[in-house]
């Protein structure tokens, strides 16, 4: 298996895209640190599913909207099995409710920025030393489809600001850490909703999605397959990239399928 013996931390991996990513990495032989905030029951179930694949898993509860939570997660993850080789920064709230920036309060702004940007930077910072010492590492950040273009996204101003800030950080960190054998990339998922976040591609075959230019709904496996590829040893020439996994869907511009 490509990642046999590696250890991965996937934030927000009790369910959703994080869970599917953790499972796909485990299938390739990686041991998994599962992180959750409130979904303890789902985290325990994910642990069981990962261990059935023949690798080890551990669970760390942490609130990544706080610097204390990010520090706790980094410290506990780094002390398990000798350190983290793969860091997938999946956790980060996206609020579907449309809201003008003027209607946010400071607490909501702070939580959104902490969860989607600052905690990501802190986790990277604390886990880089171990990766450097081993001369190998893979860091994956989560953005959104077309985040690299930094276009206006009305009613999503705070989320978009955090993720587009992460775009620049991804590219900068990739350059700084390349000499240490560490790659840094960003995945921009499309509009993958509900149970499809944990589904495989085979599970949605034959289903139609009128909003998707591809014609079928996206799944967690679509995203996780790209992440797994980026984590392979021979993928080291791919770094500093913003990779959209959207099936052609653009979350900001209207759907133009059929025009």
Q: Which pLDDT score, from 0 to 100, does residue 211 have? A: 81
Q: How confident is the model at residue 251 (pLDDT cuts 50, 70, 90)?
A: low
Q: How confident is the model at residue 259 (pLDDT cuts 50, 70, 90)?
A: very low
**Burial grade of 76 (CB within 10 A; 0-12, 13-18, 19 or more):** middle
Q: Cβ contacts of residue 106 below 8 Å, gap of 6+?
A: none
Scan for tokens 């085979």, then name that residue: 202
Three-state SS for 34?
strand
* Of 154 and 127, the one with more pLDDT: 127
What mean pLDDT is predicted for residues 74-82?
Answer: 97
Report the topology of domain 7-245: Rossmann fold (3.40.50)
**CA dihedral for 131, 89, 82, 74, sign (positive or negative):** positive
What mean pLDDT is predicted for residues 146-175?
Answer: 93
Q: Which pLDDT score, from 0 to 100, does residue 223 have? A: 97
Question: 31-52, pLDDT tens digit by residue?
Answer: 999 999 999 999 999 999 999 9
Q: Cβ contacts of residue 256 below 8 Å, gap of 6+?
A: none
117 neighbors 166 (Cβ within 8 angstroms) = yes
Percentage, residues of the chain above pLDDT 90? 80
- d(C-alpha 245, C-alpha 115), whole Å: 22
Q: Which pLDDT score, from 0 to 100, does residue 228 have? A: 98
**Burial grade of 105 (CB within 10 A; 0-12, 13-18, 19 or more):** exposed
Residue 200 pLDDT > 70: yes
CA distances from 171 to 38, 64, 148 (A): 32, 22, 10
Q: Which pLDDT score, from 0 to 100, does residue 255 have? A: 45
Question: 97-106, pLDDT tens digit by residue?
Answer: 889 999 999 9
Q: Which pLDDT score, from 0 to 100, does residue 132 have? A: 98
Residue 120 pLDDT > 90: yes
Q: Which pLDDT score, from 0 to 100, does residue 221 have? A: 97
* Of 256 and 218, the one with more pLDDT: 218
Give the pairing type, strands 31-36 and 137-142.
unpaired
* CA proximity to 51, closest of 82, 18, 26, 80: 26
Q: How confident is the model at residue 258 (pLDDT cuts 50, 70, 90)?
A: very low
């Amino acid at each position: 298996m490509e990642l046999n013996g590696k250890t991965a931390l996937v934030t927000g991996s009790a369910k959703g895209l994080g869970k599917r990513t953790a499972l796909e990495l485990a299938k390739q032989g990686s041991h998994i640190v599962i992180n959750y905030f409130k979904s303890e029951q789902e985290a325990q179930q994910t642990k069981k599913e990962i261990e059935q694949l023949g690798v080890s898993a551990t669970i760390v509860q942490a609130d990544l909207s706080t610097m204390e939570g990010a520090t706790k997660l980094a410290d506990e993850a780094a002390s398990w099995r000798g350190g983290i080789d793969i860091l997938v920064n999946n956790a980060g709230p996206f609020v579907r409710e449309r809201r003008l920036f003027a209607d946010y309060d400071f607490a909501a702004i702070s939580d959104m920025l902490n969860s989607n940007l600052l905690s990501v930077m802190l986790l990277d910072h604390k886990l880089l030393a171990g990766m450097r010492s081993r001369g190998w590492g893979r860091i994956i950040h989560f953005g959104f489809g077309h985040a690299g273009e930094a276009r206006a996204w009305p009613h999503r101003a705070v989320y978009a600001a955090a993720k587009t800030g992460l775009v620049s950080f991804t590219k900068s960190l990739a350059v700084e850490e390349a000499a240490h054998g560490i790659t840094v990339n960003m995945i921009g998922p499309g509009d993958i909703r509900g149970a499809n976040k944990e589904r495989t591609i085979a599970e949605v075959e034959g289903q139609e999605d009128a909003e998707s230019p591809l014609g079928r709904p996206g799944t967690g496996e679509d995203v996780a397959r790209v992440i797994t590829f980026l984590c392979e040893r021979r993928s080291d020439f791919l770094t500093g990239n913003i990779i959209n996994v959207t099936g052609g869907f653009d979350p900001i511009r209207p759907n133009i399928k059929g025009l």
